Structure 1
Amino acid sequence: MRASITALSLLGALSAVHADLHHLIVGTFGTESLYTLEFDDSALTLNLIQNLTVSTASSWIALSHDKKNLYGTALSSGSSAVPAFVSYALGNATDITYSNLVDLGGNCSSSKAIFVMAATESPYAVYGTPFGGTADCGAVISVDESGVLSELIQNYTYKSTSAVHGLAMNTQNTFLYSADDSGNTLWTHSVDNTTGELTYVASLDGPATGSDPRHVAIHPEGQYLYVILEGANELAQYTVDQSTGIPSFQNVTYPLIPSGSDSSSFWSDEVALSYSTNYLWATSRARSTNATGYISAFSLATDGSITSQLFLSPTTNSGGTANSVSPSPFTDTFVALTDSSVGFVEIWQLAENGTSASVVARADLDDGGCCANAVWYS
C-alpha cells in the first residue's frame, strides 16, 4: 500500500503545470566562458542564447538564494595565481556582470578551487573548497548587502589527506556536510547563524577503504543524507541524528553502474534532489571516452528515505569529468546533464510512470573546456 501511495504522489508531481521557456547558465573547466541556454519545454528545444567571455573558467557554479548573484570557482590572476572564488551580479540569465574575486586564503596550497555553494538563510555566507596539492581546508566568505562576495572570514581545516569535492547544507542552515574524496571521510560542521562560520562536530570514515565520498545532498526533512561514493560507484543513504546533526551509515547502498561492471573503469559523480523531492537523481562517469556513464533515479518516501531505484540507464557519452545532473526548479520531469568529453548539455525527461528517462534536447558547446555543471536560472 505504501508503494502505491508513493507512486500516485510521484505521478501528481510529474503533471505539475510549468511555463514554456527556461534558462540555464553553464560553467566550464578550461575556457573563460559562461554559457546561457534556453530550454523550451513545449517544443523540447535547447538553444545557446549567449556565450559570455569572462576573466576565469569556473569548474563549479552556484546561484545565490535569490538568484541575484552567481558564484564560481576561479584561479585568481595575480603575480602568483592561487585558488579563488568569483561572483557575478545577475540582472537576468544573460545580464551577467563581474563583481569580485576572493582568494581561498590561509595555508592552503592547493592547485585549484573545486566547489562552491551558498547558504539559503541569513547571513548568506558562501562556502568553497579546493582540490589537489594541499587541500585540507575550506573557506567561508561573507557577502555584502547585495550578495556580492565580500571577504574571507574563515579558513577551517579537515585532515592532512583530505580533498573535499562536494558540500551540502541542511534546510535550516545549521549543519554543513563535506564529502571528502581523497580522505574517504564524511564531515559534519555546525554553522554559526550570525556569522556563517563553521565549528567541527564529527567525521565518519567511508563505508570501506576506497569508497571515496564525492558529492552529497540532504533531504529537506533533514533525516536522510545521500552520498555519492566515487570509488565504490554507489549511492549511500545515511540517517541523520536530529539533535546532533551527525549522520550514520546503515549499510544502505545502491549501484550506479551495472552489475558485473569493472568498477575501476568508472567514477561516480553527482547526486541531486528533484523539484518536489519525490525523486533523487545520481550519475556515474566512464573513465574511457569509448564507454558511457550512467544516470539513475530513485523514488523517495515523504521522510526522505529511498523506497526504490527506478532505473539505471547509460548516458550518451562517458561524461568526461562532468556527467553532472541538475534537476529543474519547476517540475520533476526535466533534468540537465553536462558532458565535458565532447562538450554538451542535454535535457533528460522522466517518463510519466517514473521508470525511465530519455534525452529530449541537446546543445553542443565544444570549445575545449565545456561543460562543467549547469544551474537553472528559471
Structure 2
Amino acid sequence: MRPSTASFAFLSLVSAVNGDIHQLIVGTFGTEKLYTLEFDDSALTLELIGNLTTNAASSWIALSHDKKNLYGTSFTSASPAFVSYTLGSATDIIYNTTVALGGNCSSSKAIFVTAASESPYAVYGTPFGGNAECGSVISVDENGVLSDVIQNYAYKSTSGVHGMAMNQNNTFLYSADDSANTLWTHSVDSATGELTYVSSVDGPVTGADPRHVAVHTKGQYLYVILEGANELAQYTIDQTTGIPSFENVTYSLIPSDVTSSLYWSDEVALSFSNNYLWATSRARSTNSTGYISAFSLSSDGSIESQLFLNATTTSGGTANSVAPSSFSDQFVALTDSSIGFVQIWQLGTDAASASVVASVSIEDGGCCANAVWYS
C-alpha cells in the first residue's frame, strides 16, 4: 500500500531539511558525448558539471549493479556495438572497450542495453532497424568491464526490440518487440547469464507495439509501454513459468481528446520505494507536447490508480525518457531531444500532480537520450 498523504508530506519535509547532492549521467543520440549533472534536492538546483567527449553516441546507457561501470549503445557505429566505461565518480568516466554484437544483425544499430544485478552480471543488448532479429549476451571481466559476446539469440525476422527488463532475482528477461508487436520471455542461466526461449505473445491489439517494460520487485506484475496504442498495460506474471499474461488492464498515456496517431508512448519506470510507477508519451510534432503520468501501486505491485496526466514542456523529441531518482519518490529526471535538456520533476505532496523544479539545457544537436542516477 502506498504511503498516506500525511506520511508523504512528512517524508518531503525530512528531505527538505536534510538536503543532499546527487549526480546523473546523460547519453545522447547523435553527438559523441556523456554529460554529468548535479542536483541539489534542497535548493532544487540542477547544474552541468561534466562534459566528456567519447568515441560513440549512446542512445541508451545503463549502470552496473555496483555503479562502478557504465554501459552504452554505440549508436553512431555503422554496425551494432556496445561501449564500456569505468566510473571512478560521476565525472571520472574512463573508456574501456567497444564490443560488437556480431551475428546476423550487422546492418542495424544498437538501441538498448541493460545489466544484470546478480552474478555473473551479464549485460544484454539489442539492435533496432534492418536485420534486428537478434540480441546479445555479453560477459564482463572481474572488474565489470564488457568482455565477450557469449550468446547471440534469435527473435524473429520482423523483430525490433526496443527495451528489456529483468525480474529482481534475474531469473527471467522480458523483451518489448516494437516492430513485431510481441512480448518475449527468456529464462536466464544463473551460471552463465545466457538465455533460453520461454514464450512470445502478441501485443493486446494489432499496432499496440510494446516499446519498454518494467518488472515490479515482487515479480508478480510486468508493466508494458504500448507505443502504438499510447497506453500502459499491466501483465500478470505466472510465478512458476515466468510467462506474463495480459488481463485487459490498460491506462491511456495521452488525453482522450487528442489524436492517438500524433503521439508515440515511450518509457515506464518504478519509483525509489516501488510505491509509484512513472510513464511518458511523446508527440510526433514539435508543435505539440508529450505527457508524463504517475500511478499508485499496491504492495504486490498491481496498479491502484492513475494519479495524473500532465503535459510536458515540449514534444520530447525521440526521448521524453523518465528516470526516477534512486533516493526518493519525490524526484524524477525527464530528458528531451527536440531542444536538448534534462528536467527534474517533483511529485506533489498529495501525489496528485507533478511539476518541473529544475532544468539544464544541453543544446548540442544530439542530446538528450536517457539519464541514470549515479548517486
Q: Give the alignment of 1:72-151 within 5 angstroms.
A: 72-75=72-75, 81-151=78-148
- Equivalent residue in structure 2 for 1:310, among 277, 291, 307: 307
The match for 2:54 is 54
Give the 3 Å change call, closer, same or farther, for CA 75–256 of structure 1 in structure 2.
closer
The match for 2:205 is 208
The match for 1:349 is 346
CA contact (8 A) 2:5 2:349 kept: no
- Equivalent residue in structure 1 for 2:371, among 371, 374, 378: 374
CA contact (8 A) 1:10 1:278 kept: no
Task: Give the match's secondary structure for 1:264.
Answer: helix
Offset at 1:37?
A: 0.4
TM-score in terms of structure 2 length: 0.97
The match for 1:253 is 250
Residues 289-340 of structure 1, C-alpha deviations (whole Å, 9 max, x = no match): 0000000000000000000000000000000000000000000000000000
The match for 2:222 is 225
Q: Aligned partners of 1:15 and 1:273: how far apart in 2? A: 22
The match for 2:39 is 39
Q: Aligned partners of 2:238 and 2:10: how far apart in 1? A: 31
Q: Identity over aligned residues, as a percent?
A: 75
Give the 3 Å change call, closer, same or farther, for CA 11–207 of structure 1 in structure 2.
farther
Offset at 1:76?
A: 7.5
Q: Aligned partners of 1:282 and 1:14: how far apart in 2? A: 22
Residues 131-188 of structure 1, C-alpha deviations (whole Å, 9 max, x = no match): 0011010000000000000000000011111000000000010000000000100000
CA contact (8 A) 2:30 2:76 kept: no
Q: Which amino acid aligns with 2:174?
A: Y
CA contact (8 A) 1:76 1:101 kept: no
CA contact (8 A) 2:106 2:131 kept: yes
Offset at 1:107?
A: 1.1
Give the 3 Å change call, closer, same or farther, for CA 127–72 of structure 1 in structure 2.
same
**RMSD of aligned alpha carbons:** 1.4
Task: Give the match's secondary structure for 2:261.
Answer: helix
Offset at 1:34?
A: 0.3
The match for 1:185 is 182
Give the 3 Å change call, closer, same or farther, for CA 285–146 of structure 1 in structure 2.
same
TM-score in terms of structure 1 length: 0.96
- Equivalent residue in structure 1 for 2:275, among 252, 255, 278: 278
Q: Aligned partners of 2:223 and 2:338: how far apart in 1? A: 26
Q: Aligned partners of 2:301 and 2:310: how far apart in 1? A: 23
- Equivalent residue in structure 1 for 2:195, among 184, 198, 213: 198
Q: Aligned partners of 1:227 and 1:12: how far apart in 2? A: 32
CA contact (8 A) 2:57 2:76 kept: no
CA contact (8 A) 2:105 2:131 kept: yes
Q: Which amino acid aligns with 2:42?
A: S
Which sits farther off after the overlay, 225-234 or 39-48?
Answer: 39-48
Residues 260-317 of structure 1, C-alpha deviations (whole Å, 9 max, x = no match): 2100000000000000000000000000000000000000000000000000000000
Residues 113-137 of structure 1, C-alpha deviations (whole Å, 9 max, x = no match): 0000000000000000000011010
CA contact (8 A) 1:89 1:96 kept: yes
Q: Which amino acid aligns with 1:315?
A: T
The match for 1:288 is 285
Offset at 1:111?
A: 2.3
Q: Aligned partners of 2:70 and 2:91: how far apart in 1? A: 12
CA contact (8 A) 1:310 1:355 kept: yes
